[in-house]
Amino acid sequence: MTTDNKQRMQAIFDELAKGNGRPLVDAMADDFCWTIAGVSAWSRTWRGKQAVRQELLRPLFARFADTYTSTAWRVVAEGDLVVVEARGKVTTRAGARYDNHYCFVCRLEGGLLREITEYMDTDLAVSVLGVPEPTVATA
């Protein structure tokens, strides 16, 4: 299980490094949830694959002028957990660089992503991206 989960996340991030987010979305279970840790305007939990896509990813990617990439440089797995350290790169529509460092703690079950807890520089997110659109999802 550990090896399969690690290989699955490595393959997802190999595609994200090329700007292809489809494998990440395809790997999400219907009841998937994504949490951005911290106390900033970006810190909250989105519950359900559709909420993640519509309330987090769609508005976020609408702020980008070019293709977002995220390159993993360390992947560690134990059981159903895979931890991915990565670096994202993109230019915003306002012309600012948004190059953040991430640590994603991913829980997989049956080959599907059940949850991601994302640790990042939330101050950078607020200063470059502004505040996210309000949603009904809460932590």
Closest CA to 71 of 118, 26, 114, 12: 12
SS3 for 128?
helix
- The tens digit of pLDDT for each residue in 5-26 reads 999 999 999 999 999 999 999 9
Q: Are 83 and 115 in contact (CB under 8 A)?
A: no
Domains and CATH numbers, the chain: 2-129 (3.10.450.50)
The Cα–Cα gap between 78 and 133 comes to 35
pLDDT per residue as tens digits for the range 70-105: 999 999 999 999 999 999 999 999 999 999 999 999
Place of tokens 């997989």: 108
SS3 131: coil
